[in-house]
A and B are shown apart, each in its own frame.
Chain A
Amino acid sequence: MSPADQLTGLDFVTEATARERAARVDEPAWLLADRLDAVRRFEAVPVEPNRLFTTYLDLRQVHFGELTPYDEVADAAAETGSLPAGASAFLHIREGAVAGRALSAEARAAGVVVDTFANVLRDQPKLLGEILEGAHTLPDDDVFAQLARATYAVGALVHVPPGVQLREPIVVRWSLGEAGRALVSRTVIHLGKGAQARLLEEQRSSLESGTRATADDRQSLWSGTCEVLLDEGATLEVAAEQDLGPDTSSFITRQAAIGEAATLTWALAHVGGLLVRSRVDNLLEGRAGTVRQAEIGFGGAAQTFDLTSYTHHIGRDTTGDLLSKGIFQDRSRGFFKGLIDIQRTAIGTDSFLGEFAMLLDRKARSVAVPSLEIDQPDVRRAMHSSSVGPIDENQLFYLETRGLPPDLARKSIVLSFLEPVVARIPLPEAQDRLRELLDRKWDAGRTALAA
């Protein structure tokens, strides 16, 4: 099949849709122009822009034809819902509505903004333009990034002014899964000079945990972005925990522009969903910028995790440290595609890319393509490594000699393989929830196999 056929049925990315979305919230001309530019790019770019990875693209599980996008995300003008314990800000979007919005007094006083584009355009008309106008915050060559940029029904802005250091994390939650619906969104995160923040992004099923949408077996979809802009010396930690329902596919494009001496940490956990396609582009533009990324995928049943990450070293003395780990049960598949790109200007780069997978069942499959393109030899370090294997027999033996039953020993090894990412989730409750999630996933996988 040709790559273009993989998007069969996806017909809502049109100029008409873009104009209609912009008109609903009375967007300024530059934002409409941005949408229209995205429509043109969407039509022009291939489904997988990097020829290195075209062999490993398979979106056939997604039934684009049965999905109807939300036209708008309704919002109550006043704050709704309360802050989760220990958080400084909260934004919850559930299907086609804002379900919760709250900001701590401390954050509000510091000028922190966590709100929808529509509200920001109304309350602080210039702010969004200052951050976004003319900025390339998404990869030009990515079809799903352009899909979101062209037709998003809701945009979320997180803005932390220069010098503001937020101790408590910001929580952004997406709940969806209604049969036949697609939610298209953008998230933009901007940290001013020297600002510090932590963000927890949760993607959850809006239905009863793990159940299907009654008799209606149509799929659902979330297409979103996370566009990060870090000014000089800013520090951001982003943790994302995805536990969508079994009929929901998710397409997420993340891009970070990392300024001088700025530091970004990603901790990304993919657990739920039917097909998950994630792309992260880290642009280390400023001198001495750093990105650390840890990503896990825990697949079961017929899930597909298509996880791409790029580290673009552009400035001098930048550091990239990317680690991806996957556990694949049953017929699940993991495609880990990575590229370290060290450009001519990037003298003194230190970059690592690791892709490690454990296959637990005969029909599971893992593909790793950890690539390197090095145009500047004056590096501190450039290396990648990968491995694929079953559970280590020696570790199993060790735990069994300590009295653990074989199944518990296996479970412990698997969960501890993923722990490095879990440990990076900022809120203790969120950490525990992810551990429980992984725990349940393991049990469900074993039960399914025994059945």
Chain B
Amino acid sequence: MTLTQREQVDNDRSRFDFHDDIVYLAQTKRGLTRETVEEISAFKDEPAWMRNFRLRAYDHFLKRPMPTWGGDLSHIDFDKIMYYRKPSEREEKSWDDVPEQIKKTFEKLGIPEAERKFLAGVGAQYDSEVVYHSVREELVKLGVVFMGTDQALKEYPEIFQKYFGTVVPPEDNKFSALNSAVWSGGSFVYVPKGVEVPLPLQAYFRINGENTGQFERTLIVVDEGAKVHYIEGCTAPLYATDSLHVAVVEVIALAHSKVRYTTIQNWSNDVYNLVTKRAHAHEDAHVEWIDANTGSRLTMKYPSIYLRGRGATADIISVAVAGKGQHQDTGAKAVHLAPDTRSRIVSKSVSKDGGRASYRGHLKVSPGSTGVVASVRCDALMLDDQSRSDTYPYIDIQEDDTTMTHEATVGKISQDQVFYLMSRGLTENEAQNLIVQGFLEVFTKELPMEYAIEFNRLVKLEMDGALG
């Protein structure tokens, strides 16, 4: 490739790789002990039930062995990680009150711009605490609650306690136990009966500080007949040693509600991203996970939907791009627990420069769930000879009245398509870029426009150097 072609590739990673020196006002010691957990709870002045919940989770975390499947977790050193760090004392209500340095970080991320575009609300997470939060008055009038999870625990204790930990109990897995013990920050959304939130709610996440664990906890409750679209996206600065991101997201979609949860994950390539995301879909509810993973060193994330009520439907679109040194172990789970439920899983993965993309999925139809229709489709594209791709679909059907189809293909980028595009004047890299973007379009087209643009830019960044 000539230098000119090379220069046409957007190569500016610095927009995403930055960190600032912050004086932390409260932080725990490195490492995890019972005292750390108690200390976090005390910092936050939490009710006794939450403190006990954390301790129960901590006990389970100790007992539970590390998973031996999926990615390589052997380099995580739980003793080197700082479990809690609070950048400023109180939650900021207006943009002007946000400390200058944090503001600069957000400016690079484009948050004020997003607000100008009338996106519904902005919840920005800087390290372990929500520092900036504004909810548009319109939403307040509708009775929609959108705030930091810590704040919600204090202001909406009843809804909070009713639903918290019911979808993902601490005992679910080793990392949900860890998150339950030390969680901090994240978003809380409550949409009252019949309310349709007209614009997407969005929260930006940031990891800052070397070896800072990010253990946010998100709880979304959508009441009967309500509708909401929640978006999270994240970028993180690059560091030499390992960072850990262990989040839990719980979504409760009550009868006849509609929820869409969109994620663009772009952690820097030293982050272990181990996330448990699960939704309960009640009668006639519709839940969608739209999930893209381009960053991190290792991601293990399988957004799940438990279809609990008759007529519930689920859509999961999962996209992963694995570049040099990356392992994207992602997928989806649909568990049919009620009659006449439907699910559709679409997974697309791209691996390049020695990256590894794995699809791990689970489709289960329990006895008694009659009239289920389910489909799973996974496609993988490999751009060079060093990369690898795996597919592990689990399909467990225990009801005769089920219609299930599953298909998967794996292939190289088509040289015919590259040739065709190059004959139209595109460089080889541009042609590859376009083909990959087309391959991922099933995901991109589900995004609001500005996200689609940003996502395509991320893919282009990832694609840089695909031709060496």
- Chain A positions within 8 Å of B, measured between CB atoms, are 51-52, 55-56, 357, 359-379, 381-390
Contact = CB atoms under 8 A, between A and B. Distances in A.
Contacts of A377: 351, 382-385, 387-389, 410-412
A51 B68 contact: yes
Interface stretch (B182-190, B218-226, B401-409): B401-409
Given A362-B367, A374-B390, A379 B407 contact: no
A388 to B, nearest CB: 4
A384 B398 contact: no
Nearest 8 interchain pairs by C-beta = A377-B382, A359-B400, A372-B391, A382-B410, A368-B395, A385-B407, A386-B406, A388-B404
A388 B402 CA distance: 7
The size class of the interface chain B forms with chain A is: 35 or more
B9 interface: no
Which label, helix, strand, loop or mixed, suits the secondary structure of the B interface? strand
Nearest to A353: B408
Given A365-B397, A386-B406, 13 more contacts: A362-B367, A369-B393, A370-B393, A370-B406, A371-B390, A374-B382, A374-B388, A377-B411, A381-B411, A384-B406, A384-B408, A386-B405, A387-B404
Contact of B398 (A365, A371, A373, A382): A365
Nearest to B406: A386
B399 interface: yes
Nearest to A329: B400
Main secondary structure of the interface of A (DSSP, over half): strand
17 contacts: A51-B69, A55-B394, A362-B401, A366-B395, A369-B394, A369-B395, A370-B391, A371-B393, A372-B390, A377-B383, A377-B385, A377-B410, A383-B408, A383-B409, A385-B405, A385-B408, A386-B404
B385 A376 contact: yes
Given A371-B390, A375-B388, A377-B387, A361 B400 contact: yes
B17 interface: no
B389 A372 contact: yes
B392 interface: yes
A378 B386 CA distance: 10
B395 A367 contact: yes
B45 interface: no
A360 B399 CA distance: 9
Nearest to A51: B69
Nearest to B373: A389
A365 B400 CA distance: 8
A371 B397 contact: no
Contacts of B383: 377
Contacts of A363: 367
A369 B410 contact: no
B396 interface: yes
A368 B365 CA distance: 12
A386 B385 contact: no
B391 A384 contact: yes
B393 A383 contact: no
Contact of B408 (A52, A372, A373, A387): A372
A374 B389 contact: yes
Contacts of A386: 393, 395, 404-406
B270 to A, nearest CB: 24
Contacts of B392: 52, 369, 371
B400 A362 contact: yes
A379 B406 contact: no
Looking at B382, B395, B405, B411, the one whose CB has the most chain A CB atoms below 10 A away is B395
Contact of B406 (A367, A368, A374): A368
B436 to A, nearest CB: 14
Contacts of A357: 397
Contacts of B388: 373-375, 377
B397 A367 contact: yes
Contact of A389 (B351, B389, B394, B402): B402
Contacts of A382: 409-411
A359 B406 contact: no
B400 A360 contact: yes
B412 A379 contact: yes
Contacts of B404: 386-389
Contacts of B402: 359, 388-390
A367 B385 CA distance: 33
Nearest to A366: B397
Contacts of B399: 359, 362
Nearest to B396: A367
Contacts of A381: 409, 411
Given A51-B69, A359-B399, A367-B397, A387 B406 contact: yes
Given A359-B399, A390-B401, A390-B403, A372 B410 contact: yes
B400 A390 contact: yes
Contacts of A56: 396
Contacts of B401: 362, 390
A381 B380 CA distance: 12
Contacts of A362: 367, 399-401
Contacts of A390: 400-403
Contact of A378 (B367, B397, B403, B412): B412
B441 to A, nearest CB: 21
Interface string B319-360: 000000000000000000000000000000001000000000
Contacts of A365: 396-398
B391 A371 contact: yes
A54 to B, nearest CB: 9
Contacts of A360: 400
Contacts of A366: 395-397
Nearest to B394: A369
B400 A383 contact: no
A325 to B, nearest CB: 15
Contacts of B384: 377
Contacts of A389: 402-404
Nearest to A363: B367
Contacts of B351: 377
A376 to B, nearest CB: 7
Contacts of A378: 385, 412
Interface in B400-445: 400-412
A374 B410 contact: yes
A197 B304 CA distance: 50
Nearest to B383: A377
Contact of B390 (A361, A367, A373): A373
B389 A388 contact: no
A220 B69 CA distance: 36
A348 B411 CA distance: 11
Contacts of B406: 368, 370, 384-387
Contacts of B380: 374
A344 B47 CA distance: 56
A160 to B, nearest CB: 36
Nearest to A364: B400
A365 B402 CA distance: 11
A367 B366 CA distance: 12
A451 to B, nearest CB: 19
A243 B66 CA distance: 44
A363 B399 CA distance: 7
B81 to A, nearest CB: 27
B32 to A, nearest CB: 27
A364 B390 CA distance: 29
A379 B388 CA distance: 12
A358 to B, nearest CB: 8
Nearest to A54: B69
A370 to B, nearest CB: 6
B405 A387 contact: yes
Contacts of B398: 365
B222 to A, nearest CB: 31
